[in-house]
């Protein structure tokens, strides 16, 4: 187990390094000078020239990447906070610390002061949605997989396919029309403030509903397919012939084995719920991580984009590690190998 974890951690570190280099290279080679992209569109030409010299922007790409990585890990101070540049970029943590993502030209704040708050908001939204997606998907998947081709299977399959085929913006507009305009019982936006007269818990209802409607059907279909395959195994037939109750067969033998394949699918939903909910956050004006990425992209906030991409990759590799550990817990044969 220790060797396995060390190998996985080494692969995670290598993945993060490769991803950070690709992100840095793409941002460097987009149109416009590095200094201009760092300072934003409203900086003077004198500031741009000064920062170009300070950043040594004419150095080779690998050298500049090493310098950027040094700022990120706290090995060297952030040149944007050097008083000689004449810029008013100040970070209360100082110019040299681990996890220094730089300065956001969009929000006029250090990236760390913006991105973690937005990520926390999205984590709350994702957590609430995930708590509903998992049990709904398991229930629908099991009920559909028990009697393949039956009336219940067909009905639940139609429901899952229909919900999955509805885009997020469409279901969002439909729910707003229904519960905000026709029956005004819920807020139409979710700014996470009480200024509009709605308590914050009410503001989560519609965004969470949109995510659950869009996502649970796909996961339920994966569980259904796995459940059908497991129910045809010889050990299930043997348990039934021995007189074991249906509940015990399902909970004691079928469910655990049926969840081995869909386990990865469930973990992939974490990546989607963290970084793929841009549409939902935009429809409901939710101050989340996905909306921050969109705003930074439109404005050209390179520092925020680089930080958001690295965080997204980190979440992906961590969920992959959790998936491998989950496989080992669900299937003892993997541990033996």
DSSP letter, residue 150:
S
- How confident is residue 332, by pLDDT bands cut at 50, 70 and 90? low
Host H or E run for residue 103: strand 103-104
Question: Which residue intervals of the chain are DSSP H helices?
Answer: 2-28, 34-39, 45-55, 61-73, 111-146, 151-165, 168-176, 200-203, 205-231, 234-241, 246-249, 255-258, 260-275, 278-283, 289-299, 302-330, 332-336
Could you tell me which residue, 161 or 41, shows the higher pLDDT?
A: 161
Which pLDDT score is estimated for 302?
A: 83
Average pLDDT over the chain reads: 84
Q: How far apart are CA 334 and CA 328, in angstroms?
A: 6
In whole angstroms, give the CA distance from residue 69 to residue 63: 10
Q: Between 43 and 254, where is the model more confident?
A: 254
Confidence of residue 124 (pLDDT cuts 50, 70, 90): very high
For the stretch 214-253, pLDDT in tens is 888 889 998 888 888 888 888 888 888 888 888 888 887 7
316-326: per-residue pLDDT in tens? 888 888 877 77
> Which residue, among 227, 214, 233, 212, has the nearest Cα to 262 in the 3D structure?
227
pLDDT score for 148? 81
Cα–Cα distance for residue pair 194/244, rounded to 1 Å = 54
Domains of the chain, earliest start first: 34-100 (no CATH), 114-171+208-334 (1.10.3720.10)
User: How many angstroms separate the CA atoms of 202 and 227, rounded?
Assistant: 36
Mean pLDDT throughout 76-97? 74
Provide the angle, in degrees to the nearest 10, between the axes of the packed helices 289-299 and 260-275: 50
Closest Cα partner for 121 from 192, 172, 188? 192
User: 33 to each of 65, 83, 183, 209, 314, how far by Cα in Å?
Assistant: 15, 21, 52, 43, 28
For the entire predicted model, the pTM comes to 0.85
For 7-57, the DSSP string reads HHHHHHHHHHHHHHHHHHHHHHTSSS-HHHHHH-TTS-HHHHHHHHHHHTT
- pLDDT given for residue 207 in this prediction: 94
Rounded mean pLDDT of 59-70? 86
Q: Residue 277: which of 202, 216, 211, 206 has the closest Cα?
A: 211
- Helix (H/G/I), strand (E/B), else coil: 217: helix
Cβ contact 41:300 at 8 Å: yes
| Rg of the chain, C-alpha, whole Å | 25
Q: Percent of the chain beyond pLDDT 90?
A: 20
Tens-place pLDDT, residues 159-202: 989 988 888 889 999 999 999 999 989 998 898 888 777 889 99
User: Phi-psi region for residue 167, left (φ > 0), alpha (ψ -120 to 50) or beta?
Assistant: beta
Could you tell me what percent of the chain has a pLDDT over 70?
A: 92
Provide the 10 A C-beta neighbour count for residue 173.
Answer: 13
pLDDT at 260: 79
CB 16 within 8 A of CB 38: no
Confidence band, pLDDT 50/70/90 cuts, at residue 129: very high
Which of 114-118, 307-311, 328-332 has the lowest average pLDDT? 328-332
């Amino acid at each position: 187990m220790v060797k396995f974890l060390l190998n996985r951690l080494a692969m995670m570190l290598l993945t993060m390094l490769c991803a950070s280099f690709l992100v840095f290279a793409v941002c460097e080679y987009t149109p416009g000078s590095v200094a201009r992209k760092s300072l934003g569109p409203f900086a003077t030409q004198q500031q741009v020239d000064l920062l170009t010299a300070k950043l040594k922007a004419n150095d080779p790409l690998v050298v500049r990447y090493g310098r950027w990585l040094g700022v990120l890990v706290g090995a060297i101070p952030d040149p944007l906070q050097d008083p000689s540049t004449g810029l008013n970029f100040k970070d209360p943590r100082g110019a040299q610390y681990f996890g220094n993502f730089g300065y956001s030209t969009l929000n006029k704040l250090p990236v760390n002061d913006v991105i973690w708050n937005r990520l926390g908001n999205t984590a709350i939204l994702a957590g609430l949605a995930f708590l509903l997606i998992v049990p709904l998907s398991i229930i629908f998947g099991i009920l559909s997989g028990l009697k393949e081709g039956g009336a219940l299977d067909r009905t639940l399959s139609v429901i899952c396919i229909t919900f999955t085929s509805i885009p997020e913006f469409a279901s969002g507009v439909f729910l707003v029309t229904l519960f905000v305009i026709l029956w005004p019982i819920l807020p139409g936006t979710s700014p996470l403030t009480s200024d509009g007269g709605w308590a914050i818990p009410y503001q989560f209802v519609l965004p969470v509903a949109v995510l659950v409607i869009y996502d649970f059907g796909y996961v339920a279909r994966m569980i259904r397919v796995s459940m059908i395959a497991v129910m045809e195994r010889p050990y299930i037939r043997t348990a039934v012939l021995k007189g074991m109750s249906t509940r015990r067969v399902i909970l004691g033998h079928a469910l655990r084995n049926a969840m081995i394949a869909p386990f990865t699918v469930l973990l992939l939903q974490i990546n989607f719920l963290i970084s793929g909910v841009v549409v939902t956050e935009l429809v409901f004006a939710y101050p989340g991580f996905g909306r921050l990425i969109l705003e930074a992209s439109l404005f050209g906030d390179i520092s925020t984009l680089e930080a958001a991409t690295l965080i997204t990759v980190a979440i992906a590799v961590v969920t992959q590690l959790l998936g491998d550990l989950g496989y080992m817990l669900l299937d003892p044969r993997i541990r033996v190998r």
